Structure 1
Amino acid sequence: MRNLKVLTTTLAAVLAVSSLLSACSSGDKATKEEPAAAGDKANSVLNASGFPIVKSDVSMRVFGCKDPNQAAWKDVLVLKEYEKKSGIKMAYEETPTQGCSEKRNLLFASNELPDLFLRADLSNTDISKYGMQEQMLIPLEGLIEKYAPNLKKLFDQYPEAKKTVTATDGHIYSLPVIRLQAAGRGDKIWINQEWLAKLNLKAPTNVDELFTVLRAFRDQDPNGNGKKDEIPLGLRDPGMVFNTFAGSFGLDRQLGTNANIDNNKVKLWVGDDRYKELLMFLNKLYAEKLLYADFYAQDLPKWRSNLSQALYGMFFIYASDPFSKVENQFAGMAPIKGPHGDQLLSTGSPLASPIGTFAITRVNKNPEAAIRWVDYFYSEEGSQFFNYGIEGQSYTMKNGKPVILDSIKNDPRGFMAALGQVNLVPGGGFPTIIVDDIVLSEKTKEVSAVSEKFTSKVMYGAPIFNKEATDKVVPIKADIDKFVQESAIKFILGETSFDKWGEYTATLKKMKIDELEQAYQTAFDAMNK
């Protein structure tokens, strides 16, 4: 086996006297040691910089959720090599994705905690409950400050990423995936360039041009088969109503919900006039048979079948995987300019997402070593190692860039299954930075580049509310989200007249949308203290 070719990451010298208690939180149950004792212990175990991370044997019990394409974690190339490199032995207790949440919750309920949760899909509610409330997950910001220079640098460079993972009590209980490549964040706009060429049309730039192009797709048989089987605009599910053309009407998706942030003020817009205009626009598309008629049915297999046959003229999707055989028939396009001059692509996701990929529990005896273990993957070198593995064994260098070996790309088991022998990339959710997403096709990256400049410069993820806010917000939000989506479908299909808009907004008031908005405002203010 060839040795891993990596440069030694130099860390700042570890301060000699400090306690995990003072570094994290005075109320943290994770440590009972006096400051000097904690500092001495960390120094006795850790090397000040470089690898191995520890001076003596350190073992940790790790729980996580295993994607079907991943090998047993103990056999994954990157994890095996990193154990040798770091000197930390990980006892992996991965559980299949189906049933993983139940197993994870049982560990919390029975207080049978592992040392680490890794790729365990911790939700914001989990982080609130087991971090802020139960203190089973320890605060990490003090550890990051002292022992995680790569992550600290990223948080300094991208403060919105740090804000997204910071709970409303000011502590960080879990770590995210940080996607530096815009192509990895959110749906892109795809348009059938072959149809455009056949009809001598250009990609639309505004609402009027959009209708012109979609009507031509509907009426002029651009696929040339003599059938009226073309679907001009293929929205795949009801949720697409809120983030496809919303940006063209000045509506953003901030804080993980239908919200704009203007001058530090949070505005939930599902009762606003701009949103009404969006629904009227979609209603017109539907009435003219320009919009996929079954968008509300949530029949993904049927939608993907149409996509694989290139029956859509225009659609929104994250990547070209479901239609790779016909992907070259499509091109990227910028969002259309709306009636008020807005031109925003609001399908993006936050820089830091998902946020529950790594957490240290209060039973971990070496949290300093644990944070150093994960910090390597937040460096470009560590990210390359995680994504590509070992040169010669899983990748080669071409034009100064790593390229996965053809034997892996063309493996008869499939690319994802073969890659799952190398790393935990299949399924995502590993704590790292993604500089160049290896699972995205070049076509996807090309399409993304067309609209990247129209995305919000800063995207905030969903807040981590405290218990009181969670107990109050979650039921209100669930009821409002259900009502808003059901109402949107009825407005678009014409089942509810827009004359009823006043009744709709009055119902939102009764459902306490003002209280929900205030809860988001409070959480946003806490993020920005």
Structure 2
Amino acid sequence: MVRKRRLMKSTGMVVLTGTLLAGCGGGGGAVRDESVLENLNPSGMPIVKEKITMKGFAGKFFASADWSNLMLWQEYEKMTNIHMEWETVQVDTLAEKRNLLLAGGDYPEILYATAVGKADLIRYGGEGVFIPLNDLIEKYAPNFKKLMDDYPVVKKGITMPDGNIYSFPTIRDPEFMSVRTRTPWMKKEWLDKLGLQEPTTPDEFYHVLKQIKEGDPNGNGQADEIPYGAVGITQLLDFLKGSYGLNTHGTANGHVDEDPETKKLRFIPAHPRYKEILEFANKLYGEGLIDKEIFSIKTAEFTARASEGVYGFVSNVNPESIFNQKGYIGMPVLKGPHGDQKNTAIGSPLGNLGQFIITDKNQNPEAAVRWLDFFYSDEGAKMFFMGFKDITYKEMPNGEVEYTDEIINNPKGLNLDQAVSQYLIWPGGYYPGIIKQKFFKGAEGRPSSIENTQKAMPYTLKDEEIWPAFNFTSEEQDELTTIQSDLHVFIDEMRDKFISGAAPFSQWDDYVKNMEKMGLDRYMAIYEAAYKRYQEQ
């Protein structure tokens, strides 16, 4: 049954007066009237005069403590007068549990850190299960509204084709570049020992990798060095695309970018330049310059191997933070065979959209919006990522904040993510809010990560060149999902086969024809329609 929420708008405020929040489980037939708003403080803390309770469903990562005992939520309850009754699930079962709740109508007032996809935002927003937030943001979310005004890409990215906003997203501060882009890391001491300069072209990159394989840079007399390693080949290909004139507007739209000459959208996996990248990667793999297990290795196994210092180059977050390996520096942006030298492996400032959703069961949507908006402020971002003075962080003489020894040298032997998660929830990456460099001390905030990013900045796409992920109508999304369920699997399979040598490049034309048979033309037509709407916003 389609669920509807009946809204009355008065002076820009969303008001429900004697209205049933009805439908299949929607609101449970509860009545809400204007007296609810009498309990709301329009600004400042606490958010409400008399304590209220909201029920929320959230995804959490393995290290997170019981949220009912978590200092973040306990202290925030004291500030706001809002008690959150959390039901949390581990992220590996999040999608299944979330979908069951929504399909069965047994969903709570708030969905938090649940990474709801666009298809569901459009579907459940259209049905009235997820309430429109436009007017609520205008009146009750000054911090988030300012970010939308300052960075139009945010508003464009979260506005669905029907004109409504149904969720709050993760925002990466556009000035915090090391959290939005990353280039591979290389082991400087090995290059120095072998008398090698930093590579500046793909051919030089090949030469350096070959010298690492053959030159015994660790000096143990064994050929145990692995020139390049990662979990999967995607990060290397994304890095190389900018050297071959691809991903001209960043990575947010996956396989689609714009031809700089024709100004028309193009499908990267069918482009001749993409074939050249695969041929180059095939050469590296065929000569043993890429970890032979790159297509199958799991994160835990890769982390263990990288922690032994066997890789010359790695594509991952800061090796010092993740692998406890010092001496790695950022790899230069390579100048490709056609003269392209761009760092296009960069995401939009807009992260996952569906990280905070208010459902039609919520009796206090205004208070819920105020509750979240705090975390888009500097004060809220500091509390969310750094925690509490003299407990999880300390103030330095220069005014900066750093984690306490309890976090960075945990007496129980916990790593940083695990120690932080005894108090806070950000490790793992699922949350609504804004990630700012001065308050984020994870791997991307390390000085070496920032230095790595600065090294690539002269060649990095400008903010005005970077697109957010496009939004689609419900009908477009349904059709696109059907097409790409087969198309994307085929692309990934053939990518790995071409690189590993399991499929010869003489099959390239057949590969392209198969994609066309899978509905590539219609796929691109849907993207064209979405792109046109994006331009008109």
User: TM-score per shorter chain, which class?
Assistant: 0.7 to 0.9
- Residues 1-400 of structure 1 aligned to structure 2 (within 5 Å): 17-20=11-14, 43-132=37-126, 134-180=127-173, 181-240=176-235, 242-252=237-247, 253-261=250-258, 265-320=264-319, 323-326=322-325, 328-398=326-396, 399-400=398-399
Distance in 2 (CA, whole Å) between partners of 1:524 and 1:254 is 15
Kept in 2, the 8 Å contact 1:250–1:344? The answer is yes
Structure 1 residue identity aligned to 2:401:
P
- Cα gap change, 1:334/1:87 in structure 2, threshold over 3 Å: closer, same or farther? same
Deviation of 1:464 after TM superposition, in Å, equals: 4.1
The SS at the match of 1:422 is coil
Q: Alpha-carbon deviations, 1:305-339, whole Å to 9, x = none?
A: 4322222222211233675332x121112221111
Which stretch has the larger CA shift, 207-216 or 237-246?
Answer: 237-246
Kept in 1, the 8 Å contact 2:244–2:338? The answer is yes
Kept in 2, the 8 Å contact 1:247–1:346? The answer is yes
Kept in 2, the 8 Å contact 1:21–1:28? The answer is no
Report the equivalent of 2:449: 444
Distance in 2 (CA, whole Å) between partners of 1:423 and 1:300 is 24
Distance in 1 (CA, whole Å) between partners of 2:22 and 2:335 is 51
- Cα gap change, 1:485/1:110 in structure 2, threshold over 3 Å: closer, same or farther? closer
The SS at the match of 1:433 is strand
Deviation of 1:115 after TM superposition, in Å, equals: 1.2
The SS at the match of 1:121 is strand
- Residues 399-414 of structure 1 aligned to structure 2 (within 5 Å): 399-411=398-410, 412-414=412-414
Report the equivalent of 2:428: 427
Structure 1 unaligned residues grouped into runs of 5+? 1-14, 32-36
Query: Does 2:505 align with 1:508?
Result: no
Distance in 1 (CA, whole Å) between partners of 2:122 and 2:320 is 35
Distance in 2 (CA, whole Å) between partners of 1:422 and 1:108 is 30
Kept in 2, the 8 Å contact 1:28–1:138? The answer is no
TM-score (structure 2 length as normaliser): 0.87
Kept in 2, the 8 Å contact 1:320–1:444? The answer is no
Structure 2 residue identity aligned to 1:51:
M
The SS at the match of 2:329 is strand
Structure 2 residue identity aligned to 1:139:
P
Report the equivalent of 1:492: 499
The SS at the match of 1:462 is coil
Structure 2 residue identity aligned to 1:171:
N
- Cα gap change, 1:169/1:260 in structure 2, threshold over 3 Å: closer, same or farther? same
Q: How many residues are matched?
A: 503
Q: Once the two structures are aligned, what percentage of the paired residues are identical?
A: 34
- Give the one of 471, 474, 479 matched to 2:481: 474
Root mean square deviation of aligned Cα: 2.6
Deviation of 1:452 after TM superposition, in Å, equals: 4.2
The SS at the match of 2:270 is coil
TM-score (structure 1 length as normaliser): 0.88
Distance in 2 (CA, whole Å) between partners of 1:230 and 1:152 is 51
Structure 1 stretches of at least 4 aligned residues deviating more than 6 Å after TM superposition: 27-31
Kept in 2, the 8 Å contact 1:148–1:372? The answer is yes
Which stretch has the larger CA shift, 277-286 or 239-248?
Answer: 239-248
Which stretch has the larger CA shift, 363-372 or 439-448?
Answer: 439-448
- Cα gap change, 1:160/1:484 in structure 2, threshold over 3 Å: closer, same or farther? same
Q: Alpha-carbon deviations, 1:146-190, whole Å to 9, x = none?
A: 111111111111222222222222211111111112222244310
